[in-house]
Amino acid sequence: MQRNATTQYPVLLIHGLFGFERIGHFEIFHGIKQALRNAGVRVFVPYLSATHCNEVRGEQLLVQIDRVLAGTGAGKVNLIGHSQGALTARYAAAMAPQVVASVTSVSGPNHGSELADFLRKALRPGSLPEHVASAVVTLFADFLSLLSGHPQLPQHAVASLNALTTEGVATFNAKYPQGLPATWGGEGPEQVNGVHYYSWSGTVQGSLLDEGVNSVDPLHQICRAFSAYFISEAQENDGLVGRYSSHLGKVLRSDYPLDHLDSLNQTAGLVRKGIDPVELYVAHAERLKNAGL
């Protein structure tokens, strides 16, 4: 039966680091945008810098929110941000709460990423490795922007990495605390300045032998390898973001059996059994609709 998740306000899906809307037939939110449209949602994917700080990406997002509002006649938008996209959405909501109905963080590093901390320490400030890594990553981001049709977007690899460390996000949170939990691992206020806040995320669980056919997914193998670099949230992370670090507003669940890229439906729909990442987005759109959003 046809789902009806027609939200009052349009939904913007906001990508994170190295993200884009589409390259050829490949979409970063694989199958998610179409599933939402099939359920009656007006959905857009803004184009943002693949690598940059949260504030620069947030300002880019605010410009495109204005365009969506002008094009649809809507008064507000619902923002669903994956990974760094959650921080981008939070910035936009803090700066312009009058045009944001809700912010939903999907696998967002709302208290920073231990993996980013490890990488930041590995790239010594002012050293040749940092300069080389920055140049390579920026070139890669420029290449992604070119392929996605937006070569004009600025890129800044080191700024994006700094923005994702626990120190960098702590500085960000001091300026934009809306929706944050008062205690570690808790829930934050569900509504601040008229904006509703939600979050969900997953964790890498069990051993690779427990994954069945998902064990041959190279993206899952990468996330599982990265999960070993977490200390405070060891065995409680999705490979890039810790479970409790992801908490924001109303926590829908933070231990889905999903790695960081599964929550974008990247190959998850092909090899993972027992959970459908796309369904999480459609169900959330129904939640937003029922809340009058």
pLDDT in tens, 80-127: 999 999 999 999 999 999 999 999 999 999 999 888 887 767 666 555
Active-site position among 52, 111, 156, 260:
260
Determine whether 30 is an active site residue. Answer: no
155 — pLDDT class (breaks 50, 70, 90): confident
Whether the Cβ atoms of residue 51 and residue 160 lie closer than 8 Å to each other? yes
What's residue 115's pLDDT? Answer: 81
Active-site position among 30, 49, 83, 246:
83
Give the mean pLDDT of 178-206.
96
Instruction: Of 24-33, 155-164, 211-220, 249-258, give the range with the top mean pLDDT.
Output: 249-258
What's residue 9's pLDDT? Answer: 98
Determine whether 66 is an active site residue. Answer: no
Percent of the chain with pLDDT over 90: 57
* For residue 265, pLDDT beyond 80: yes
Whole-prediction pTM: 0.88
Sorted by sequence, the CB contacts under 8 Å of residue 224 that are 6+ apart come out as: 204, 208, 239, 259
Active-site position among 217, 238, 259, 262:
238
Domains in the chain, ordered, with CATH? 11-290 (3.40.50.1820)
**What is the distance between the alpha carbons of residues 177 and 170, in angstroms, rounded to a whole number?**
10
* For residue 196, pLDDT beyond 90: yes
51 — pLDDT class (breaks 50, 70, 90): confident
- For residue 126, the tally of other CB atoms under 10 A from its CB is 6
Give the mean pLDDT of 41-49.
93
Of 227 and 23, which is predicted with more confidence?
227
Sorted by sequence, the CB contacts under 8 Å of residue 242 that are 6+ apart come out as: 109, 111, 113, 114, 230, 232, 233, 236
Determine whether 145 is an active site residue. Answer: no
